[in-house]
Amino acid sequence: MGKDRLIVFADDWGRHPSSAQHLVRYLLQDRAVSWVNTIGTRVPRLSVAVVRRGLEKLLQWGHPPTQQPTTHAAAPEICSPIMYPGFRTRWQRNLNAGLLARFMRRRFADLERAVIVSTIPIVADLPERLNVRRWVYYCVDDFSVWPGLDSSALRVLEQKFVSRADRVIAAGENLAARMRALGREALVLPHGIDLEHWRGPGEPCNLLEGMPRPIVLFWGLIDRRLDVSALRALNDRMHAGTIALVGPEQDPDPALGSLSRLRRPGKAPYESLPALASHADVLLMPYADLPVTRAMQPLKLKEYLATDRPVVVTRLPAVAEWQDCLDIVDDPEQLAKAVIDRCAGGLPAAQSNARRRLEVESWKNKSAYFADALFGD
C-alpha cells in the first residue's frame, strides 16, 4: 500500500515558523508529505511588500516541486501551484478552484487515498471537486479579524470549509469555541515546544549587539496587534536600556517610531532566537486587547517560557493556563512596572519551577495526536 499520503495547504514552507511545520516535521519519516504553498488571503493593494511577494510567487511558479533545503534531516515535497491572488468574488473562487483541482489531479496519482489538511480556508471549494480520503481543517487563528487579510472573503470560505471538512482540529479552546459557533466540534491540540532547541545556545546573532541594557525583547511579526500605549508607558518609565522588537514588519503603527528607547533591528532566523533570548533581561508579549489577539495561540508563549528569562505579557485567553509561569498585566502602567521589576529581580523561583510542566508539551508528543486525528478511524 505504501506510505500514507498527507497533503498540507498552508503559508509557504520555511517562510516563518508555524505549528503546522513543527507537527509535519515529525510525520515525514513514516508518511509521504507534500506541502502546497498558497496565496490570496490578503486584501489586494499595491505596495512594495505586495510587489515583493508577487515576485516571490512568480519565481516559485517557475520551478517544479522540490525538496526544500532545511536544517532538519528531512523536508516535505514543496509545491507552488499557480493561483489567482484573491478569493473575493465568485469568478475568483471558481478560477482558483479549477486551477488547484487540475493541479492536484495531475500531480498526485494517489489522490483518493490522501488526507488533505489546510490551515487556511481557501480550499473550501475543493471538496466538491476532488475525491480524497479525508479533508481536515486545522484552525490556528481567526483569519476573519486578522489585520490586512481579506476578512469578508475568508469568513465566507471558513464557514463553507468547516461545514465540508471531515474533521476539525483547533489550536486552542478559544478557537474550538469558534468552531462550535459554526456548528462543528473540534479536537483541541495546543501548541508544543522543542525544549532542546530553546535550552541550547542557538546560532550566534548580533542583532542586539551594542544596545544599552537592560534589554526588553519581543520577537515575532511587528504589526497593528502590538499595544503602542503599553510600549509607550514602558519607554517613558525606563531610565536606561532598550526595547527591542525583532522580526518582520507588516504595516506597524507609525507611532512606534516616536519611542526613544525602542529599536527594530530586523528579522532573526529561528535558529538564532535562543541566543537572542540569552542576551535579553525580560521577554515581552505586548499585544493589545483585540478580537484577533483574543483568538490567538501565539507560538512564542511556550518559546519564551522554555528560556530562563522573565516573561511579561498582556492578558489574553491563550496565556491564562500559564499564569503561574509569567507575569500577566492588564494595563500599560502594570506592564511598565512588571518589566522594570523583572529587569531588576530576574526570574522568580516559583515561576521557574512552574515551567517544568513544559516537559510534556513537546512537538513530538503533539505530532502523535495530530497523526491520529488525521489518519485514525
Query: Does residue 17 have a pLDDT over 90?
Result: no
Average pLDDT of the chain, as a whole number: 92
Structure confidence at residue 75 as a pLDDT band (50, 70, 90): confident
Q: What is the pLDDT of residues 25-48, one digit of tens each?
A: 999 999 999 999 998 776 655 444
Write down the CATH number for the domain with range 195-359.
Answer: 3.40.50.2000
Q: What is the pLDDT of residues 289-333, one digit of tens each?
A: 999 999 999 999 999 999 999 999 999 999 999 999 999 999 999
- Residue 51 confidence (pLDDT): 44
Q: What is the pLDDT of residues 220-275, one digit of tens each?
A: 999 999 999 999 999 999 999 999 999 999 999 999 999 999 999 999 999 999 99
- The domains spanning 4-192+362-375 and 195-359 adopt the same CATH topology: yes
CATH class of 4-192+362-375: alpha beta
Contacts by residues 256-259 (CB-CB < 8 Å, ≥ 24 positions apart): 256/222, 256/226, 256/228, 256/231, 259/231, 259/232, 259/235
Predicted TM-score (pTM) of this structure: 0.90
Domain ranges of the chain: 4-192+362-375, 195-359
